Amino acid sequence: MHNLLYRLLHKRGVKDVTELDDFEKQDFEKWNKILSGGELTVEKIKKFCESQVKIIEGQWRNLDNVKEKNERLITQHIIYKTLLELIEAPNKERENLETYLESLLK
């Protein structure tokens, strides 16, 4: 556990991560992963965005969500999916160009 997270838990009187609720545990695990992950890479950003999309889509399954929460989830989903598209766009463009050039060679 990263020292900053340990100090934050201690300040709030939490002795162990198991005392946190599910939502708090998700944040804690995400923060711990970020703080202990070392150098930030495009691949790490991609994995983070993919995990956030899965979490959001999981929250959509809760039929008791209020309208405001669903609107917020939709906005978050659009943002993370857009980031993923930006990350993957160069690869798709290259694949499309390669396919096009190969068709010209036939």
Task: Check: pTM over 0.75? Answer yes or no.
Answer: no
Enumerate the domain spans of the chain.
1-38, 40-106
Question: What are the pLDDT tens digits along the chain (106 aa)?
Answer: 678 888 888 888 888 888 888 888 888 888 888 887 678 889 989 999 999 999 999 999 999 999 999 999 999 999 999 999 999 888 888 888 888 888 888 8
pLDDT tens track for 34-58: 887 678 889 989 999 999 999 999 9
**DSSP conformational letter for 62:** -
Burial call 71-82: b when 16+ CB within 10 Å, e when fewer: eebeeebeebee
The CA distances from residue 42 to 65, 87, 92, 94, in Å, are: 33, 8, 16, 18
